[in-house]
Amino acid sequence: MRISLLFLILIFFLGCQSDPLVKNQNIGNALGTTYAITYIADEELDFQKEIDSVFQAVNQSMSTYITNSDISKINEGDSTVVVDKMFEEVFKLSKKVHEKTSGYFDPTVGVLVNAWGFGPGQQIVLDSTKVDSLLEFVGWKKVHLNAEGTIAKSHPAIRFDFNAVAKGYAIDRLGAMLDEKGIKNYLVEVGGEVLAKGTNLVSEKRWTVGIDDPQVVQGRKLKLAIALKDKALASSGNYRKFRVDTVTGKKYVHTIDPKTGYTKNSNVLATSVVANDCATADAYATAFMAMDLDESIKLLVKQEELSAYIIYLDTEGETQEFMTPGFEALVVDSIIEN
C-alpha cells in the first residue's frame, strides 16, 4: 500500500513538471535588410510562411520599390486606390507624430528623397531654386485620408515615403502574428530595430539588445546594451546610410529636413527611442535626427511614454550623450546573449 502511494505521488509529481521549452528562430532577408525572429514555446515551431506573409503584405501596401504597391500607385497619381488597414494605421500614426514634432516628421518628403538620391526615383542635381520648387510638393497638410479609404493630394506630384516608419510597423505586425499564435515570449529584430515581449525562458535571461557606436566607421562596436520587456526599440543615424558625390566628394546624409528641403548634417550623430510599439519608436527616432537637440529634449520631457538616448557633438566637437531617466533604467552592465 505504501509502494502504491509512493508510485501515485511520483506520477503526480512528474505530471506537474512543465514541458521542456524550445527556442525557435527564423532568420532571413526582407525590407532590404536582415531579420531574426526568436520565439519560445513548449515545442518546435516554424512560422516562416506566416512571417513571409507579413512582409509581403507590408511591402504590397507601403513599399516604394514595388511598382504595383498601393503607395506606388498613389504616388503616380492614382486617386482610386482604397488603402488597406495597414496603410491607414501608418497614415494616422504619421499624422500624430507630425503634429507632435512640429512638422519634422513628414512622410510626404518622397519627392525630395528621390531627388537627393535616397529613393527609387530619379536623382537630380539640386540647387536652392530646385529645392524650393520641390518643397511645393511637401507638406502633411497637403494630403488627406478620405472616409472611403482613398488618398487626396493637393498636387499629383506629392509622393509618400513611409520608409521611416514602415519597418517598425512591420515588426509590430510580426509581433501581432506571434500574439495570435499564443506566443508570449519573443524577440523580433529587423534591421536593428526590435520588439521584445516577455523574457527568454530558455536561458532564464532578459531580452537584451545592443546600440551601435555611431563613431565606429569600420565594422561595428556597441555603445551600450539595454534590457527590454514588452517594449520596442528603434534607432536612427547618418553614420551608415549616406552617399558621397563622385564628382565633388561631398557627403550627403539620408536625413532630410522637410522644412528646408535639404539633407541635414547636424551635431546629432544617432538617436535611439524606446516606445510601446516599434512604429512609434521608428518615427520619433527619425524625427529626432532632423530636429535640433534642444527641441527633441523639450518634446521628450512632455512625452512620458517615450524613452530616448541621443549621441551628439557639443560646440567643442566632443562626443556627449543625452539619456532620459526611463532609458537609463534599461541600461545593463554587460551584453546578455539572447
pLDDT of residue 216: 78
Give the residue carrying C-alpha cell 516606445: 275
pLDDT of residue 255: 81
The 10 Å CB-count burial string (b at 16+, else e) for 284-319 is bbbbbbbbebeebeebbeebeebbbbbbbeeeeeee
CATH homologous superfamily for 22-332?
ApbE-like domains (3.10.520.10)
62: Cα within 13 Å, side-chain hemisphere: 23
Asked if residues 153 and 142 have their Cβ atoms less than 8 Å apart, the reply is yes
| Domain ranges for the chain | 22-332
Per-residue DSSP letters for 118-180? -SSS------HHHHHHHGGG--GGGEEE-TTS-EEESSTT-B---HHHHHHHHHHHHHHHHHH
Q: Write down the pTM of the prediction.
A: 0.88
Q: 123, 114, 128, 138: which is closest to 257 by C-alpha?
A: 138
Asked if residues 49 and 177 have their Cβ atoms less than 8 Å apart, the reply is no
Q: Could you tell me which residues come within 8 angstroms of residue 250 by beta carbon, excluding any fewer than 6 positions away?
A: 244
pLDDT of residue 334: 63
pLDDT of residue 219: 73
Per-residue pLDDT of the chain (338 residues; tens, 9 = 90+): 444 444 444 444 444 445 689 999 999 999 999 999 999 999 999 999 999 999 999 999 999 999 999 999 999 999 999 999 999 999 999 999 999 999 999 999 999 988 888 777 777 677 888 888 899 999 999 999 999 999 999 999 999 999 999 999 999 999 999 999 999 999 999 999 999 999 999 888 889 999 988 877 677 788 999 999 999 999 998 655 444 444 444 444 458 888 988 887 778 999 999 999 999 999 999 999 999 999 999 999 998 899 999 999 898 889 999 999 999 999 997 655 67
What angle is formed at CA 67 by the lines to CA 65 and CA 70, rounded to 5 degrees? 95
Q: Which triple of cell numbers denotes residue 324?
A: 532620459
Q: What element of type H or E holds 3?
A: helix 2-16
